[in-house]
Amino acid sequence: MSLTVLQLLQNHTRGLHSDINVQSDGYYDTDIPQFDDITDFYEWKKQLRADLKAEKERLQALTSEKEETPAKDTPDTKIKDSEQNPTTKKENEP
């Protein structure tokens, strides 16, 4: 069943809503480009892959840097230090 524009407007003004589903637009955090030429698509795809590779390398560098740097004054290291040098308050008190 199809309705003309006039019938849709008349039903709308009379308060008679139709069973037509209206699709809402989807919104994304990033822009989705519209390509006029297939080569633009391939260039965009190549750029995305280069960006992904750069981010993976940056993440790898950050994780390797984090592994090389010892943790400073974290609760775990304080516990480990106290376990290595077990002294109780009774021994230290006069």
The residue extents of the domains of the chain are 33-70
- pLDDT at position 50: 97
Structure tokens at 48: 């995305």
Tens of pLDDT, residue by residue over 53-89, are 999 999 999 998 888 776 666 566 556 655 666 555 5
Environment class of residue 86 by beta-carbon count within 10 Å: exposed (0-12), middle (13-18) or buried (19+)?
exposed
- Which one-letter amino acid corresponds to residue 29? D
* Rounded Cα distance, 51 and 33, in Å: 16
- pLDDT at position 24: 73
* Rounded Cα distance, 77 and 48, in Å: 41
Cβ atoms within 10 Å of 11's Cβ, excluding its own = 13
* pTM for the whole structure: 0.42
Which residue has better confidence, 53 or 94?
53
